[in-house]
Chain A
Amino acid sequence: MEIVLDILSWLSLGLGCALVIIGSLGLVRLPDMYTRMHAAGITDTLGTMMVMLGLAFQAGLTLVTVKLAFIVLFVLYTSPVATHALARAALRGGLKPLTVGDDNVPVTRKEKEPAE
C-alpha cells in the first residue's frame, strides 16, 4: 500500500512539475500577452492541482491534506478573477490582441450591438 501511494505521489509530482515548466516555457515562448495568459493558465490550474495532489498522497488523510485542498481551492477561485482583470486592463490600456483569420470581432467599449 505504501509503495502504491509513493508511486502515485511520484507520478503526480512529476506531472505537476512538467506542467509547471511547460506553462512557464509558454510564458517565454508565446508571441503576445494574450496568448501568454493561456500558458500561465496551465501553471495556475492543472500544474498546481497535480503538485498538491502529489503532496497530498504523501501526507495521507490528515489535516495537512485538508490544508492542501484549501490552497488549491483558493488558487482555483482567485486565478480566473485575476486573469480576467488583467486581460480587461490590457484591453483598456490599448494592447491589441494578435489574431489570425478574418472573423475577428473588433473589441471596443462603445460597440453594443451583438455581432451575430
Chain B
Amino acid sequence: MFAAAAAGVLVAMALALTRACLGPSVFDRILAVNSFSTLTILLIAIHGFLTERPEFLDICLVYALINFISTIAVTKYIENRGFGPAPKEEEPGEV
C-alpha cells in the first residue's frame, strides 16, 4: 500500500521533471523544481513508513525548510541579477 503511494508520487515527480526540462522560461523551471521538492518531501515521508523507520520524518522537516529557502534565494537571484539589494534606478517598462 505504501509502495503504491510511493509509485504515485514517483509518477507525479516524473511529470514535474518533464516540465522542468521543457521550460520554456526560467520561472517555469523554478516552479517545477519547487513542486518537485514538495513531492520529494512526500516521498521521503512515505519511504519512512515503508521501511518502518520514522526517523525519516526529521529529514522531511529539514527538507521542507531548505526547499523554501532555496526557492526564495533562486527567485531573488533571478529577480535582482545577484544576491544584493534590488537595483533601484531602472524601472521595468510595460510588462
Contact = CB atoms under 8 A, between A and B. Distances in A.
B38 A37 contact: no
Contacts, number: 159
| A interface, over-half SS | helix
A47 B68 CA distance: 18
Interface of B: 1, 4-5, 8-9, 11-13, 15-16, 18-19, 22, 25-28, 30-32, 34-35, 38-39, 41-42, 45-46, 49, 54, 57-58, 60-61, 64-65, 67-68, 71-72, 75-76, 78-79, 91-95
Nearest to B67: A78
Given A44-B35, A44-B38, A109 B91 contact: yes
A112 interface: no
Sorted from nearest, which 6 A-B pairs have the closest CB atoms? A17-B8, A24-B15, A78-B68, A24-B12, A89-B79, A90-B27
B95 A96 contact: yes
